[in-house]
């Protein structure tokens, strides 16, 4: 018989697992990993909001995407265009970024799988006599290692020609040059930290769902068990 068991700790672990998976996925897909050096706008370019000249803008560069401004000569304005600069994996700007993409993709796939499974832990607490929380916690730890490898390798690609075109000639491996780090990089780091927190917290979710109070509720014949 399926017993629906909901506790504060198990629910918090489930929510964190889902948030971490989405955070890493959004960061990976974003073009805001590097913020390039400021590029001045022409004096005849008009800001659509203020009607005055546009301020200098800073293009952004991601692992496989970028955001830049394109000119509309007829209207004397520029629009921001975002999209992938690499049409396939081999066109990613650096071998280090290719490795980063592989490691991050593997970690994100594991996190998304765990996030999906975590939703069903209210009904299923074990698989082949193994705690599903412990299994998911182990997978989250492995995903965290993949994410760390990807984030360590990413700065090694700052010396590629693509990065130099955004960050200036002084950009090199682990040196930003005229660029700065964007929110996607910090989100990926924060998501990695939360991944390890989830891995550790999965043990608390297991303890909460197998406590004596839960067993007493089961013995009383209750199918829906909610504990604070």
What CATH number is attached to the domain comprising 132?
A: 1.20.140.150
- Residue 71 domain-assigned? no
Q: Is 214's pLDDT higher than 90? A: no
pLDDT above 90 coverage of the chain, percent: 51
Say if residue 135 is exposed, middle or buried (CB neighbours under 10 Å; 0-12, 13-18, 19+). Answer: middle
Asked if residue 195 is part of any domain, the answer here is yes
In a domain, 79, yes or no: no
Checking if the pLDDT of 205 tops 50, the result is yes
Question: Quick check: 31 and 61 in contact, CB under 8 A?
Answer: yes
- What are the phi and psi torsion angles at 127 (to 5°)? -130, 120
Angstrom distances, CA of residue 47 to CA of 43, 55, 77, 88, 157? 11, 8, 7, 35, 34
Domain hosting residue 195, numbered range: 4-33+92-226
202 vs 5, more confident:
202
Look at residue 73 and tell me if it is in a domain: no
Please report where in the chains the tokens 């800001």 appear, as a residue: 47
Residue whose entry in the numeric block shows the structure tokens 């406590």: 211
Residue 225 has pLDDT above 80, yes or no: no
pTM to 2 decimals?
A: 0.84
> Reduced to 3 states, what is the DSSP secondary structure of residue 83?
strand
Q: CA-CA distance, 77 to 217, in Å (whole number)? A: 67
In a domain, 66, yes or no: no
Domain count, the chain: 1
174: helix, strand or coil: coil
pLDDT at site 71:
58
Above 90 in pLDDT, residue 224?
Answer: no
Is 26 among the domain residues? yes
50 within a domain of the structure (yes/no) = no
Alpha helices (H) along the chain:
8-29, 95-118, 132-153, 161-167, 183-209, 212-219
87 pLDDT tier (thresholds 50, 70, 90): confident
Tell me the per-residue pLDDT of 41-66, one tens digit each, with 9 for 90 and over: 554 455 555 554 556 778 899 999 99
């Amino acid at each position: 018989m399926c017993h629906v068991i909901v506790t504060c700790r198990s629910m918090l672990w489930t929510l964190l697992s889902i948030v971490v998976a989405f955070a890493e996925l959004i960061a990976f897909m974003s073009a805001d990993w590097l913020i390039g050096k400021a590029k001045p706008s022409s004096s005849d370019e008009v800001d659509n909001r203020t009607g005055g000249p546009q301020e200098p803008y800073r293009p952004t560069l991601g692992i496989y995407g970028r955001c830049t401004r394109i000119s509309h000569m007829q209207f004397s304005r520029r629009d921001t265009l975002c999209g992938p600069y690499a049409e396939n994996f081999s066109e990613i700007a650096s071998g280090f970024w290719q490795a980063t993409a592989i490691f991050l993709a593997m970690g994100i796939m594991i996190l998304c799988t765990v996030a999906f499974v975590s939703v069903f832990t209210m009904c299923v607490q074990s698989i082949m006599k193994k705690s599903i929380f412990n299994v998911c916690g182990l997978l989250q730890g492995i995903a965290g290692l993949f994410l760390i490898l990807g984030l360590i390798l990413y700065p090694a690609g700052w010396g590629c020609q693509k990065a130099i075109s955004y960050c200036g000639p002084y950009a090199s491996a682990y040196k930003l040059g005229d660029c700065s780090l964007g929110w996607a990089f910090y989100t990926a780091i924060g998501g990695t930290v939360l991944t390890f927190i989830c891995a550790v917290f999965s043990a608390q979710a297991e303890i909460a769902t197998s406590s004596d109070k839960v067993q007493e509720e089961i013995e009383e014949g209750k199918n829906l068990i909610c504990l604070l």
